[in-house]
Amino acid sequence: MKLPLFQIDAFSSRQFRGNPAAVVVLDEWLEDRVLAAVAAENNLAETAFVIPRSSDVLPLRWFTPTVEVDLCGHATLATAHVLFNYYFPNLDTLRFGTRSGQVAVARRGDLLCLDFPARPAKPIEITDALVSALGARPREALMARDILAIFDSEQEVLALRPDFPRIAALDCFAVIVSARGDSQTDSADFVSRFFAPGQGVPEDPVTGSAHCTLTPYWSAKLGKTNLVARQVSARGGDLRCEMNGDRVVIAGNTAEYLRGEITIDL
């Protein structure tokens, strides 16, 4: 069986930055064990599997090298890049059916805009386990799907050297760390990093789903609904975020790196 495979750098207008995601185009679902094996073989933070059987709601799933996840921003952006360019060039909006409900991606000029559910976080205790895992004490801690740890400065976020086994042992999917931006990030409203070692992703380069929690938090703190964000990983990535009721719009660029096919012996 031969399947189309693409690799797209999401949340960047240039190759070798942002977050690389694989996109595999299917005619029908394969067994979960096969999807998981393909994602493990790709060994990227996420592999998206999509079935473009019509221009209606398109089935979409996401896998890390070790688990299936319920929401992934950068791989959805990558999937939209592939479908807009090779499957539905006349459309300006795509709708996907996912484990988190229906999500959409729209084209606005050179930006692709995700419409995702907001995931506001609630305050939690700053535990010794969290401090040990991060190697520093945050000013504030909150919880949605992920723990959100707030620091006083971008430099503190950049300086973190987390203990990944301890991060993986925390009772959460992942840990987001964040602070207000400073001049080093070209006037970004806030910066972040994202650690998910328990899901096979020690540090994710750019994480769309994290901004479902970051955007409500910083929108409330800064008193604005439109925000410029930067994920300050080694590769780095830029996002434009907007609060829209109980939804979050997360926009970014994409850059295509690879187009080919894989051969699977079932």
CATH of the domain at 182: 3.10.310.10
Check if the beta carbon of residue 7 is closer than 8 Å to that of residue 21. Answer: yes
Statement to judge: residues 107 and 205 lie in one domain: no
Summarize the confidence of residues 221-228 as an average pLDDT.
Answer: 97
- Counting residues of the chain whose pLDDT is more than 90, the rounded percentage is 95
> So what's the pLDDT on residue 186?
64
Give the CB-side neighbour count of residue 109, counting CA atoms within 13 A: 5
d(CA 175, CA 194): 6
d(CA 214, CA 103): 18
Confidence of residue 254 (pLDDT cuts 50, 70, 90): very high
Summarize the confidence of residues 88-108 as an average pLDDT.
Answer: 95
Statement to judge: residues 113 and 225 lie in one domain: no
Q: Provide the 3-class DSSP secondary structure of residue 230.
A: strand
Q: pTM for this one?
A: 0.90
- Does the annotation count 31 as an active-site position? no
Statement to judge: residues 133 and 233 lie in one domain: yes
Kindly list the distances between the CA atom of residue 210 and the CA atoms of 169, 206, 260, in Å, as whole numbers in the listed order: 19, 9, 30
| Length of the chain measured in residues | 266
Number of structural domains in the chain: 2
Give the tens place of pLDDT for each residue, 152-194.
999 999 999 999 999 999 999 999 999 999 865 568 999 999 9
Statement to judge: residues 129 and 229 lie in one domain: yes
The parent domain of residue 55 ranges over 2-117+251-263
- The structure tokens 């907007």 sit at 242
Catalytic choice (46, 125, 242, 261): 46
Summarize the confidence of residues 43-64 as an average pLDDT.
Answer: 93
Q: Which of 226, 161, 223 is nearest to 188 (CA)?
A: 226
Give the tens place of pLDDT for each residue, 188-216.
999 999 999 999 999 999 999 999 999 99
Statement to judge: residues 130 and 240 lie in one domain: yes
